[in-house]
A and B are shown apart, each in its own frame.
Chain A
C-alpha cells in the first residue's frame, strides 16, 4: 500500500475524528463562521458602528433614510446600526477569549509542568498554592481589580487570564507525573539532558493535549466573563462589546427588545461553539467517556 504524505494523513485523521464526533464538528463550523465574520467585519458592516443614523430604536429590517442600507437587525437608542455593532463586537469577544485563555494556558502549563516534573518539595508547595487559588472567588477578584484599576481591555484580558490558570496547572501536573517515568524521558536523563530542557522539549509537548481541550473551554469562560463585566458597566468604554450592547438594551427591553436579544444570542452561540469544541476534544482524549453513542 502506498503511504500517504504525513501532512495529508494528519488532516485525514483530523477529518475522520471530526466526523465521528458531532460536538467537534458543529463547534468547529460555528467557530469558523464567527471567525470569518469577525475578520470580515470592516467589509460586511453596512454602517460605521459608531454612526448615529436618524433612525432611533427601529425594529430589524427598517430601511435607512436617503437610500442608506437596510438596518437588518434594527437600531439602538442612539440610532446606531446593530448589525454593524454586532460584527465589530465579535472581534472584541474573540480577541478577549483567545488572549485570556492563552495567558491561562501558558501560566498553568508552566506551573503544572514544574510541579509534576520536578516533584518533591517544589511540588508540595505548588499544589498547596493551587489549592488556595482554586478556593479564592476569582470572579470577585476580577471585579475588584477592574473596578479599581480601570477597565482597559488589556487589563481585562490579563486579569481573566491570571485568575483561570489553576485548572490547566492541575492537568499539566498529572501529565508530567505520568510522563516522567516513561522510558524516553529516562533515556534523556541518562544522556545528561538538563531538567529544564527535558521539561520544555519532551514533557510539555507530549502532555499538552488536555490543556488544549481545557483552553478551548476557557475561551468560552473568558467570553462570558467579559460580557458580564461589560454588562455591569466595567467594560472598556472605547470598544464595542456585546455585553455593553445587552446592558444598553436592558432599559429598552419593552420598547426595543431586539437591542438586548440580538447580542445575547450572539454571546450564546459564540460560547457554545468553543464549549462544544472543548467537550469534543475531551471525548477524543477519553473515548471511554464518550457516552454519545
Chain B
C-alpha cells in the first residue's frame, strides 16, 4: 500500500516535471520575440531590447534559463504577465474561487444524479425508462458544452426571462451579504446546469454498467440462493461494490471538467480561470497561459493521489502490492 502510493506520487511528480519542461520549451519555441512585444512600440531601440533581455534573463544559455525557471516555479514564482503587468500567480489566485464554485457544484450534481439514474436504470434494464435515459445520455455526450450553454441561454434567459444570461453578480444591484449569496446562486444555475448535463452521461454509464456487472457475479447468485431479500441484497452487496468505479473516475474526470469550464465560462462570462485562459489566448499572454497550464497539471496530480487514497480506504480488497 505504502509502496503503491509512493509510486503514484512519483508518477504525479514526473507528470508535473514533464509539464514544466513542455511548457518551457513551448514558450521559447513560440514565434515572435516577447521582448519586442514588451517594449510596447513598433520600433523599439536596441538598447531597450538589450536591457529587457538581460532583465528577464533571456541572454543566458537555454539550460541555465531552464534551471532559473524551475527554481522560480519551486519558489511559487510562475512568471510575470506582461500584458496585465502583474505576477501570474496573483492573477490566477483571484480566479480559482469562481471556477471551483462552478466545477465542484456541477461535479457533485452530475455524480449524484448520474449515479442515481444509472443504478435505477440498471435495476430495470431494458425498460422504457432505461431506454429513454440511455438515449438521452448518448445525446448529451455528443453535445458541445458551449452550444448547450448557448441554447439554455436562448431558452431560459432570452426567451423565458427566468434566469440571467451571464456574469456572476448583478452589477447594478450591488447586493451585499445574504442577498449577494442569493444573487450568485441565481447566476450559478445556468452554468452549473450546462456543465452538469454534459458530465452526467459519464457517471450514468459507469454506474449502470458496474451495477449490471456486479449483479451478474457468482457471489450475488449465491446470496440470492440463500433466500436473502432482494432489497437487502441490493443495498448491502450490489451497491457497495458497484460504486467503487465511480470513485476512481472522479479523479480522472477532473481534467475533463476543468476543460469544460473554459467553454462554460466563456459562454456565460463567468469570471473564472477558464475566462482568464481565454483572454490570455486572445492577448497572446504566454506566461499567463503556461502558468495556468502548470496549475492545472499540479492540481490534477494532487487530485489523482487523493483519489487513490480514498479508493484504498473504501475497498478493503485492494492491496497495492505491485
A224 within 8 A of B: yes
Give the complex CA separation of A184 and B162 in angstroms.
67
- Do the beta carbons of A272 and B139 come within 8 Å of each other? yes
CB of B298 to closest CB in A, whole Å: 10
CA–CA, A183 and B15, complex, Å: 39
Q: Evaluate whether A246 and B147 lie within 8 angstroms (CB atoms) in the complex, with A137-B255, A271-B142 already known.
A: yes
Docked pose: A267 CA to B145 CA in angstroms: 11
Q: Please determine whether A267 and B11 come into contact, CB atoms closer than 8 angstroms.
A: no
Tell me whether A147 is interfacial, beta carbon within 8 Å. Answer: yes
Query: Least Cβ distance of B10 to chain A in Å?
Result: 9
State A283–B284 Cα separation when bound (angstroms). 45
- CA A134 to CA B300, docked complex, whole Å: 11
A132 to chain B, nearest CB (A): 5
A250-B267 contact, Cβ under 8 Å, with A234-B281, A276-B138, A293-B126: yes
In the complex with contacts A137-B300, A231-B144, A260-B147, A291-B30 CB distance below 8 A = no
A141 / chain B contacts, CB cutoff of 8 Å: 22, 293
24 A-B residue pairings within 8 Å (CB atoms):
A128-B11, A132-B11, A134-B252, A135-B12, A140-B277, A144-B290, A145-B26, A147-B281, A147-B289, A148-B286, A148-B289, A227-B147, A228-B146, A231-B144, A232-B266, A233-B282, A249-B150, A253-B153, A267-B142, A268-B142, A268-B143, A268-B144, A271-B142, A272-B138
A220 touches B11 (CB 8 A): no
List 12 additional contacts besides A233-B282, A261-B151; criterion CB under 8 Å: A135-B255, A139-B262, A141-B293, A144-B290, A224-B142, A228-B144, A232-B263, A232-B266, A261-B154, A272-B139, A275-B142, A289-B212
Partner of B11 from the list A131, A144, A149, A279 (CB cut-off 8 Å) is A131
Q: Does B312 contact A (CB under 8 A)?
A: no
Nearest to A261 among chain B residues (CB) is B151
Q: Which of A192-238 contact B (CB under 8 A)?
A: 220, 224, 227-228, 231-234
0 or 1 for each of A273-284: is its CB under 8 Å from B? (1 = yes)? 001100100000
Q: Would A275 and B138 be within 8 Å (CB), given that A253-B158, A268-B143 are in contact? A: yes
Q: Is there a chain A Cβ closer than 8 Å to B196's Cβ? A: no
A254 an interface residue at 8 Å Cβ cutoff? yes
- Least CB separation from A254: chain B residue: B158
Cα-based distance from A272 to B258 in the complex (angstroms) = 23
Are A137 and B293 in contact, with the CB atoms below 8 A?
Answer: yes
Flag if A139 contacts B26 (CB, 8 Å).
no
Closest beta carbon of chain B to A265's beta carbon, Å = 9
> Closest approach, in angstroms, between the C-beta of A84 and any C-beta of chain B?
21
A-B pairs under 8 A by CB, number: 142
Q: How far is the CB of A68 from chain B (nearest CB, A)?
A: 29
Asked whether B297 is an interface residue with its Cβ less than 8 Å from the other chain, the reply is yes
Q: Are A291 and B26 in contact (CB under 8 A)?
A: no
A252 to B22, CA, bound (A): 39
In the bound complex, residues from chain A placing their C-beta under 8 Å from that of B252 are 134
Contact status B126-A292, CB under 8 Å = yes
Per-residue A-contact encoding for B280-309, CB less than 8 Å = 1, 0 else: 011010100110110011001100100000
Evaluate whether A132 and B144 lie within 8 angstroms (CB atoms) in the complex, with A139-B259, A144-B290, A264-B150 already known. no
Given A148-B286, A228-B144, A260-B150, verify A137-B297 contact (CB < 8 Å). yes
Would A144 and B26 be within 8 Å (CB), given that A132-B15, A292-B126 are in contact?
Answer: yes
C-alpha gap A233/B280 in the complex (Å) = 12
B96 adjacent to chain A (CB < 8 Å): no
Contact status A137-B14, CB under 8 Å: no
Residue B18 lies at the interface, judged by CB distance under 8 Å to chain A = yes
